[in-house]
Amino acid sequence: MRGRLVFLLPLAIVGALMLVFGKRLLDVGRGEDLRILPTVLLDTPVPDMALDAIPGRGRNPDGLTDEDLRGEVALVNIWGSWCVACLAEHPVLNEIAKSGVVPVQGIAWRDSPAASLGWLAKHGDPYARIGQDPKSRAAIAFGVTGAPETFVVDRQGVIRYKHTGPISPEAWERTIKPLVMELSK
């Protein structure tokens, strides 16, 4: 009897594997993007950084350090003028900045100052401060895999949320704004 059950073992293993893989497939079907990696930086302080301002932007103060991210709730948006998805996201950032709900801090990733300035002049400049990150130092420190990515940072300068990809109006209204309101209490 026991001997015969052993022959059913491979079938049971294959069945279990099919369940596991099937679940993942259904997750993808429901719109879960498996390329989005969960950040391990949640609930950790923002990394040390001291990023230069873009010369000629004409804002004072400008440039971005980790110290600037302590004291108030803020969004940190990593973008580049070369990034098409950033262009799609930009009107939403402009709206957020206009609403005055939360300051948007920018990290200009792998970009030349001239290209950044041209882009901002053309599409609007929602950023309170901008720090340049020409060699990806800040991007790597934030565990960024692609632009745009946006972090919600609380008053203590702790990362509380990461949004991968462009922020849609829905993502802002449903997820990010409520979180910002909660953290600002």
Partner 1 sequence: MRMGLIAMMTAISLGALAVEPSERLADPALESRAREVSKALRCVVCQNESIDDSNAELAKDMRILVRDRINAGDSNQAVLDYMVERYGDFVLLKPRVMPTTIALWVAPAVLLALGLLVLIRTMRRRAMAEPTALSSDEALKLKRLMDGAP
Can you give the three-state secondary structure of 63-120, one letter per residue? CEEHHHHCCCCEEEEEECCCCHHHHHHHHHHHHHHHHCCCCEEEEEECCCHHHHHHHH
Residue from the set 8, 14, 17, 37 that interacts with partner 1 by CB under 8 A:
37
Using CA atoms, how far apart are residues 116 and 90, in angstroms rounded to an integer?
A: 13
Residue from the set 137, 155, 174, 178 that interacts with partner 1 by CB under 8 A:
137
Q: How far is the CB of 37 from partner 1 (least distance, A)?
A: 6
The length of the chain, given as a count of residues: 185
Residue from the set 4, 10, 40, 100 that interacts with partner 1 by CB under 8 A:
40
Q: Which of residues 142-161 bind partner 1 (CB under 8 A)?
A: 142-143, 145-146
Q: How far is the CB of 143 from partner 1 (least distance, A)?
A: 4
- Strand 127-133 relative to strand 104-109, pairing: parallel
Residue from the set 12, 15, 99, 136 that interacts with partner 1 by CB under 8 A:
136
Using CA atoms, how far apart are residues 55 and 57, in angstroms rounded to an integer?
A: 6
State the residues that interact with partner 1 by CB under 8 A.
Answer: 35, 37-41, 47, 110, 135-137, 139-143, 145-146
